Amino acid sequence: MLELETETTTATGSTNRRSRTDLPSREPGPSILQVMASLGDASFRRDHGLRYAYVAGAMANGIASVELVEAMARGGMLGFFGAAGLGHERVEAALHRLQKEIPGLPFGVNLIHSPNESELEDVVAKLFIQRGLRLIEASAYLRLTLPVVRFRVAGIHRDAAGQIVTPNRVIAKVSRVEVATHFFSPPPAEFLNELVRTGDLTAEQAALAAQIPMAQDVTAEADSAGHTDNRPLVTLLPTLLALRDRMQAKFGYRQPLRVGAAGGLATPAGLAAAFAMGAAYVVTGSVNQACLESGSSEVVRKMLAQAEQADTAMAPAADMFEMGVKLQVLKRGTMFPMRAAKLWELFRAYPSLEAIPEADRGPLEKQFFRATLAEAWASTRDFWLKRDAKQVERAEREPKHKMALVFRSYLGLSSRWANAGEPSRVLDYQVWCGPAMGAFNEWTRGTFLEKPENRRAEIVALNLLYSAAAHLRGVALRLQGIPLLSEETVCAPIEPARLHELLNAKL
């Protein structure tokens, strides 16, 4: 029998911590470990080669690092490398490392829709095909694009038994029902015809592709870090589950469609609720950035460890700035949300950089850019000449586009400063973060996981799953009239050595 430290809340609201004996074999019904291993959809775990239905979502600029993805894979879970914002050489290097370091273990890479850089999306998708990557997390899509369709259908064939085989899988992350509808539908005929025309597919393969969903798995992303529609999970998830059933009935796919849950998941009760609502798997984000393996910096991890539930704000996004798209960021300890909002206000109010009045220009040059606007344009221009010279040509014709590129340079640099822990720019740090972070900090307060240096992604994930399982098991037993102590349903985080000992015990 193992001693576990548990947390109970007294009638006065204060918290007690004490040891107890783990009870999986004493109580009737399945043990916590059995519940943990059966959380989510069995076919999801089987298809992706996972022990647990737990996914660490992509985090741009390599914040979801190779190390994070490897930690997930070794723990029997799935991680997506954060390819967004990186040039294709860095993505290729990361993919090469993952294929070398964890051959045969599950992992994927993010393919992000880039309306401003459609060529990059195309190059990255082709790279994935050439390199034999089998799984992507497709995100930020409003409608399907040729690159994501090309990836999905590459190598489609029939096996000896005549069944359609799709070597490439897509887990699409969406926050809207229209977008989920596109992904649960077969690839559009116009794209399949185009792929036949370019020789990427044969006519026979295109006919097979018309019978499969673009994505068998769609993640319902509720109020999360980064790009989000701030929908509550309790409304979004049931909506997408209903859509799943309609789409399955309409297309009669041989493989079942599945819906996972993301956004705000960082506590055992949160995960338990998502699984109880019918999520095939859960996806976390904010909490992983706070872990040691993330590509963020120590100073950001410390800032995240201080965050409370309301310490987030919506701020203009660098990648879709002109479209008015916003993303969720940390507001505690940084001026970024206010500064980014100011840039959006100026962009809306003036036709060009030159038209910005002196009263606004001063703070921009002194605090934001620490350079004159002319100098800021010169460095922005150099950046785009190397990355996509067409942007410079357009900016030189269209003053408003020039303003957008300069403002976007600040938005882009602000997240790089945060990742690098640049000490002179703390007030400009852009840190993507959702309310999940505050919830996690609250759950871990007073335990070893309160300290940023103890937050290892695998330990965090396994603790969340273990306690979610305890929670669900407790609810199930209580509903059958079997009385339980409160500490049998609410677990405080368990130290790594004990956790592994527990997990290695027989089911």
Ligand X SMILES: Cc1cc2nc3c(=O)[nH]c(=O)nc-3n(C[C@H](O)[C@H](O)[C@H](O)COP(=O)(O)O)c2cc1C
For residue 398, what are the CA distances in angstroms to 379, 392, 402, 477?
18, 10, 7, 66
112 binding ligand X? (CB under 6 A): yes
Residue type, 86: L
CB of 84 to ligand X, least distance (A): 3
65 binding ligand X? (CB under 6 A): no
| Residue from 135, 262, 304, 492 in contact with ligand X (CB under 6 A) | 262
CA distance 2 to 183: 46
Q: Which residues contact 358 (CB under 8 A, 6 or more apart)?
A: none
Q: Which residues contact 61 (CB under 8 A, 6 or more apart)?
A: 82, 84, 85, 86, 295, 415, 416, 419
Binding residues among 317-356 for ligand X as defined by CB under 6 A:
none
Determine the interface stretch with ligand X among 3-11, 284-292, 310-318, 361-369 (rule: CB under 6 A).
284-292
CA distance 429 to 434: 15
Q: Which residues contact 245 (CB under 8 A, 6 or more apart)?
A: none
In the three-class reduction of DSSP (H, G, I as helix; E, B as strand; rest coil), residue 261 is classed as strand
Q: Which two tokens stand for residue 194?
A: 């185009």
CB of 378 to ligand X, least distance (A): 29
CB of 306 to ligand X, least distance (A): 16
226 binding ligand X? (CB under 6 A): yes
CB of 24 to ligand X, least distance (A): 28
| Residue from 187, 412, 434, 474 in contact with ligand X (CB under 6 A) | 434
59 binding ligand X? (CB under 6 A): yes
Closest CB to ligand X among 54 and 466?
54
| Residue from 40, 57, 106, 187 in contact with ligand X (CB under 6 A) | 57
Q: Which residues contact 482 (CB under 8 A, 6 or more apart)?
A: 27, 28, 29
263 binding ligand X? (CB under 6 A): yes
Determine the interface stretch with ligand X among 39-47, 55-63, 94-102, 178-186 (rule: CB under 6 A).
55-63
282 binding ligand X? (CB under 6 A): no
How many other CB atoms are there within 10 angstroms of residue 470's CB atom?
A: 28
CA distance 164 to 153: 11
Of 109, 103, 123, the C-alpha closest to 65 is 109
Q: At what angle do helices 496-504 and 457-479 cross, to 10 degrees?
A: 60
| Residue from 4, 35, 50, 63 in contact with ligand X (CB under 6 A) | 63
In 3-state terms, the chain is what percent helix, strand and coil (to 5)? 50, 15, 35
CB of 109 to ligand X, least distance (A): 10
270 binding ligand X? (CB under 6 A): no
Binding residues among 163-182 for ligand X as defined by CB under 6 A:
173
| Residue from 6, 139, 205, 409 in contact with ligand X (CB under 6 A) | 139
Long-range contacts of 446-452 (CB under 8 A, 24+ apart): 446/7, 446/15, 446/17, 447/5, 447/7, 447/17, 447/492, 447/493, 448/493, 448/495, 449/493, 450/305, 451/305, 452/290, 452/292, 452/298, 452/301, 452/302, 452/304, 452/305
Determine the interface stretch with ligand X among 52-60, 96-104, 381-389, 471-479 (rule: CB under 6 A).
52-60
Determine the interface stretch with ligand X among 2-10, 273-281, 330-338, 427-435 (rule: CB under 6 A).
427-435
CB of 358 to ligand X, least distance (A): 36
Closest CB to ligand X among 128 and 377?
128
Q: Are 88 and 122 in contact (CB under 8 A)?
A: no
452 binding ligand X? (CB under 6 A): no
| Strands 226-227 and 326-330, bridge-based pairing | antiparallel
Closest CB to ligand X among 37 and 317?
317
Closest CB to ligand X among 263 and 452?
263
Q: At what angle do helices 399-420 and 336-349 cross, to 10 degrees?
A: 170
Closest CB to ligand X among 201 and 320?
320
- Binding string to ligand X for residues 286 to 315, with x set by CB under 6 A, is what? xx-x--------------------------
Of 178, 176, 175, the C-alpha closest to 224 is 175
Of 465, 474, 461, 462, the C-alpha closest to 31 is 474
How many other CB atoms are there within 10 angstroms of residue 27's CB atom?
A: 15
Closest CB to ligand X among 82 and 337?
82
432 binding ligand X? (CB under 6 A): yes
Beta bridge partners of 313: 329
CB-nearest residue to ligand X: 285
Closest CB to ligand X among 284 and 441?
284
Determine the interface stretch with ligand X among 93-101, 187-195, 281-289, 405-413 (rule: CB under 6 A).
281-289
Closest CB to ligand X among 226 and 493?
226
CB of 53 to ligand X, least distance (A): 15
79 binding ligand X? (CB under 6 A): no
Residues that bind ligand X (CB under 6 A): 57-60, 63, 82, 84, 110, 112, 137, 139, 173, 221, 224-226, 262-265, 283-287, 289, 432-434, 436
